[in-house]
Amino acid sequence: MTIFVHELRNQQRVFWRNKESAVFIFVFPPMLFLLLGAVYDGDIDGVPAVDRLLVGILGYGCANTALAGLAITLVLRREAGILKRLRATPLPPATYIAAVLASTLLVFALQMAATVALGLVLYDANAPESWAALVPVLLLGAIAFAGLGVGLASLIRSAEGASAVVNLVVLPMAFLSGSFGSTGGYPAFLQAISDVLPLTYLIDLVEAAYIRGETLVDDPRAVAVLVGWGLAGLLVATKRFGWEPRER
């Protein structure tokens, strides 16, 4: 336990110390919320626009932190030989991974709190209907996307390619899943893609919890899809994840 706490502290120190990644991972989603929130008004799908936007950004933040941020971080550390070096220490690999995930969850939690607070203070957003419903949804989302993040990291071969590949996955997904507004007006073929993306289901769950106070139990299908994607990511990771640089 103490070695886990020690490593969680290390992870947090490294995360906040690295300004580029802290800005990209932590600041980017709330910043998008501020920009879009200044433009949107009226209703989206019968919900006040700013509330619907907040819901979408919470989903996007989850993908950006747990999938994009985690995948890029792992690839950079792997290619730099940091993961390989750690393997020669008594730090157990499972403890390391657990600390990395816990650190990611912590960053995500702070980010969500900051985003909601900005919405409440600046844009008169409504508070979540039920925190008790919302928190488990976000936790499930973060874990599922972290599974995808580790899986994606296992497939990326080089440090140079990491951020390009990850953004190529995350940004279109966010757009197609309705992170930045309703997908109701999208053409059918885009909606068909949207219907298989994990973020679509996460945003549905977040919306249900935030706006209507519904819990995970109320939408087992969405939960199943998210869990399925998370497990798929982990499956790829168990087959392909490596601790040593791929290049050279």
Partner 1 sequence: MSVQPAIRVRGLVKSYGGVEAVRGIDFDVLPGEVFGLLGPNGAGKTTTVEILEGYRPRDAGEVSVLGVDPWRGSSEHRERIGVVLQHSELPATLSVREVHRMFAGYYRAPRAVDEVIELVGLEDKADARVKTLSGGQKRRLDLGVALVGDPELVFLDEPTTGFDPSARRTAWDLVRSLRSLGKTILLTTHYLDEAQQLADRVAVIRAGELIRIGTPRELIADAPQVEIRYREDGREVVLSTDEPTRVLAELTGRALAAGRELEGLEVRRATLEDVYLGLVDEERG
Q: Residue from 43, 87, 192, 246 that binds partner 1 (CB under 8 A)?
A: 87
Toward partner 1, which CB reaches closer, 10 or 126? 10
Q: Which of 45, 35, 60 is nearest to 183 (CA)?
A: 45
Stretch that binds partner 1, among 55-63, 81-89, 148-156, 207-215 (CB under 8 A): 81-89
Taking CB under 8 A as the rule, which mask of x and - marks residues 177-216 in contact with partner 1?
A: ----------------------------------------
Our CB check for partner 1 shows the closer of 107 and 133 to be 107
**In angstroms, how far is the first alpha carbon of the chain from the final one?**
36
Q: Which residues of 80-116 are buried (b: 16+ CB within 10 A; e: fewer)?
A: eeebeeeeeeebeeebbbebbbbbbbebbeebbebbb
Sequence length of the chain is: 248
Residue of 13, 212, 240, 246 that binds partner 1 (CB under 8 A): 13
242 binds partner 1 (CB under 8 A): no
- The single residue among 23, 38, 45, 81 that binds partner 1, judged by CB under 8 A, is 81
Q: For residues 112-171, which are near partner 1 according to CB under 8 A?
A: none
Strands (E), 22-167: 43-44, 47-48
Among 9, 125, 16, 22, CA closest to 72: 22
Position 10 contacts partner 1 (CB under 8 A): yes
What 3-state class would DSSP assign to 65? helix
* CB of 85 or CB of 240, closer to partner 1: 85
Angle at 186 between CA 180 and CA 187, to 5 degrees: 160
**Residues in touch with partner 1 (CB under 8 A):** 3, 6-7, 10, 13-14, 17-18, 80-82, 84-85, 87-92, 244-245, 248
